[in-house]
Structure 1
């Protein structure tokens, strides 16, 4: 009896396109919060898309007016269109920046769907090198992922899995195999590997391979960090991922509290990416109850973007008068006079405009 042997290969085939838009900031000053400007249309694949710019924020959150979000709207008929969106700032040489870009995955279910995110705050952008002659440029890259089935593949094709290096490094941290340094933190001991710590943190490199006494120590005692925070710090160093709040403690530590503590640790060990991740986490939760303490934390630990967002929130919202009457604000005025002066300048500037 004759037999047949056939194969097929399923994959997500990408279709990509890029569009740049130049924004003149003074022309959008009068736009209200929640209002968008359609500032460019382009075609990728079988679909037409529009870039939407919100000069005063989307209005979704109380602090959103301090952000300048960009969205992409589907103008064509479509259903379950999977898309990677990437927005990046373009420098004065016409090069899309790798340091100031972000990307996210979205599914567009129908015509008129809008998806996007905030790339930067208005206060930060105004001081950046990306603004020249009252304008800046943003690049939008759009990648559509569509199912593709190819028939008749021979048996010589090889499937390559995605990278799982972070999992291996996390397992190495968990097992302690090959560890050549340990840290004692309030009664708990954490084994680690000098070369990995030094490759990720200039502070650890100086401590473990420099002239400091720690370079010859087999165990280093740390007094001013909680064990669960130090464990989360190590997990980030090994995996480059923000630790889930219910994974590294077993005690249900709130994500916001974890971010507050990790900002301090990230500043101490010069882990800029971790600090920015924590800034982003806390920026989404700014409110009248926590804005003063968040402002002080940001100012103390070099979180410039988070600091500006807090100052903008206090100076441009209606909560200033109620905050002035609180003990927290009174303590803030005494303990942080320089930041208080910055706040007064912003309040004065807002009243003039």
Structure 2
């Protein structure tokens, strides 16, 4: 038998802080949380509250360098398995949406919440594939390239793929050339992908030519 009101219960726990047994403090904002929910999904927070650390005695973790809105998204995922803008009443600009997803991705990597990192990565990829025409795309691509951890290449590969598939439009943007000049590794990756795409296109054209020639030869034999 299912529990249809579970989402309501989890939302109440997230927003009301009832029965909370830990606090995450970020930029003078205190999030009242529950160890069973947070520590069971994050090795970072689990380790921080282990015996021997001062946080274990106070049950309070300080994150002075993190963004409040991003931490709110992280906690939202832990409780609801999803996240969205910190304020649903706002209508953020496309670049703000992308940077929010990127911030969540970086936080998920830091806090070792792999399902959240996968979700944020997917949303960044979808954003890039849908918004590559925007003038802000080159700068967003640069932010993603520079912020992505070196051990994670999937997200970088997606950005390179989108940029290379639309390289003419990318270069036509005022900041497109600037981004490539300032990030030579990114530029080389885009150039390699463009070369690969051209090779595939050339091979496909050769196949079509061969098929056409074979068809012409077959018709001649019939005649």
TM-score with structure 2 length normalisation?
0.69
Q: Is the 8 A contact 2:22 2:59 kept in 1?
A: yes
User: What is aligned with 1:235?
Assistant: 76
User: What is aligned with 1:173?
Assistant: 14
User: What is aligned with 1:308?
Assistant: 157
For residues 196 and 278 of structure 1, what CA distance do their matches in structure 2 show? 20
Q: Is the 8 A contact 1:314 1:320 kept in 2?
A: yes
> Is 1:270 paired with 2:112?
yes
For residues 184 and 58 of structure 2, what CA distance do their matches in structure 1 show? 41
User: What is aligned with 2:178?
Assistant: 330
> Is 1:184 paired with 2:25?
yes
Distance change (3 Å), C-alpha of 1:351 and 1:259: same
Distance change (3 Å), C-alpha of 1:195 and 1:309: same
Number of residue pairs the alignment of both structures matches: 188
For residues 311 and 184 of structure 1, what CA distance do their matches in structure 2 show? 37
Structure 1 position 291, deviation (Å)? 3.5
Q: Aligned to 2:191, which of 344, 349, 352?
A: 344
Q: Aligned to 2:87, which of 241, 249, 259?
A: 249
Greater strand share, 1 or 2?
Answer: 1
For residues 310 and 205 of structure 1, what CA distance do their matches in structure 2 show? 33
Distance change (3 Å), C-alpha of 1:232 and 1:219: same
Q: Aligned to 2:49, which of 194, 205, 208?
A: 208
Q: Aligned to 1:292, which of 128, 138, 151?
A: 138
Q: Equivalences for 1:19-98 in 2 at 5 Å?
A: none
**Structure 2 residues without counterparts, runs of 5 or longer:** 201-223
**Structure 1 residues without counterparts, runs of 5 or longer:** 1-159
Q: Is the 8 A contact 2:21 2:34 kept in 1?
A: yes
Structure 1 position 290, deviation (Å)? 3.8
Q: Is the 8 A contact 1:315 1:343 kept in 2?
A: yes
Q: Deviations over 1:251-290 (max 9, x none)?
A: 5163444323212222221222222222332333321434
Which SS does the other structure have where 1:349 is aligned?
Answer: helix
Which SS does the other structure have where 1:274 is aligned?
Answer: helix
Structure 1 position 332, deviation (Å)? 4.9
Q: Equivalences for 1:107-146 in 2 at 5 Å?
A: none
For residues 322 and 213 of structure 1, what CA distance do their matches in structure 2 show? 54
User: What is aligned with 2:211?
Assistant: none
Q: Is the 8 A contact 2:102 2:144 kept in 1?
A: no
Q: Equivalences for 1:193-204 in 2 at 5 Å?
A: 193-204=34-45
- Could you say what the CA RMSD is over the residues aligned between the two structures, in angstroms? 2.7
For residues 181 and 280 of structure 1, what CA distance do their matches in structure 2 show? 30
Q: Is the 8 A contact 1:203 1:269 kept in 2?
A: yes
TM-score with structure 1 length normalisation?
0.46
Distance change (3 Å), C-alpha of 1:295 and 1:268: same
Distance change (3 Å), C-alpha of 1:341 and 1:184: same
Distance change (3 Å), C-alpha of 1:259 and 1:252: same
For residues 253 and 193 of structure 1, what CA distance do their matches in structure 2 show? 30
For residues 211 and 170 of structure 1, what CA distance do their matches in structure 2 show? 32
Q: Is the 8 A contact 1:182 1:218 kept in 2?
A: yes
> Is 1:261 paired with 2:103?
yes
